[in-house]
Amino acid sequence: MKKGKCFAALLLTAVIAMAPVNAYGIETAGEYFEISSEEAGAFLYDGTTVMAGTDGEMILTKSESGWVRRATIRTTDMNVLTAEIVLNEEGLNTIRYHAKNAGKAQLIVVVPSGAAVNMGTFYVMDARGDGTIDGGWIQENDQWKYKKGDGSFLSSAWLMDKGKRYYFGEDGVMAVNQWLKGWFCWYYAGPDGAMMTNTVTPDGYELDDTGAYYDPALSD
C-alpha cells in the first residue's frame, strides 16, 4: 500500500484548505508539526492542563520554508501564565512557560508577518487537599472522554498524551477502531484509541511513521 506524509492538520481544529505559504515548525516530545503563519486558529495545545507553580517548554524549529527569529509570544492573562521565547544557537527557539495561578489563559505566538498564531487555551489547576485535580481521562459507559480544566469535555479535537495521539468526536467520545480523515491523508485509531503508526491496519493499509495513509483522492 502507498505510504505518505501528512503533517499539520492532525492537530489543527480548522483544516487548512491549501498548503501553507509561510510555514513554521513546532517540535514537542520528539514530534514535528507544521503550522501556517497565516493560520490564526492553530490550536496545537488547546486544552492543555498544568499545575500551578510548574514550568514547561515547547520548541519551535526551523522549517524548510525558513524560520525567522523575530517571533514574539504573549499570554492573555499574565496572572495565570507567563511565557517567553528563548533563542538557541542551533536554530531552535524554545517557548518556556510558567504556570502561576489557577485559571485559564491563551498562549499566542506572533510571527514576523504579524499573524497571531493561537496555540490554544492552557488551564492552570490548583491541587486539592489530596493532591489530585479535577479533569483528565473519564470513563463513562465503557467509553472514554477527556475532561478539560474548565470542566468541559474535549470534542472534535486531538489530544496528545504521553507521546500518543487520540481523537475525540463531536460527542466528546474517544474514537476507537476507526479511520479518521486528515489533511490529504487518513489516520487510524486502534482498539485503545491511540493513533496507529508504522503498522498495517486491520483492513490492510500501511501507515507510515507519522500514522498517515496518503489518499490522492483527498487532494482533488
Report yes or no on 41 lying in a domain.
yes
Report yes or no on 106 lying in a domain.
yes
CATH code, 54: 2.10.270.10
Report yes or no on 94 lying in a domain.
yes
Give the range with max mean pLDDT: 2-6, 58-62, 117-121, 210-214.
210-214
Task: Read off φ and ψ for residue 197, nearest 5 degrees.
Answer: -140, 155
Q: What is the pTM of this model?
A: 0.48
Report yes or no on 46 lying in a domain.
yes
**Domain span at 186:** 8-124+135-219
Task: Read off φ and ψ for residue 101, nearest 5 degrees.
Answer: -135, 160
N-to-C CA span, the chain: 20
Report yes or no on 144 lying in a domain.
yes
Q: pLDDT tens digits for 145-192?
A: 988 766 788 888 887 777 788 889 999 999 999 999 876 788 999 999
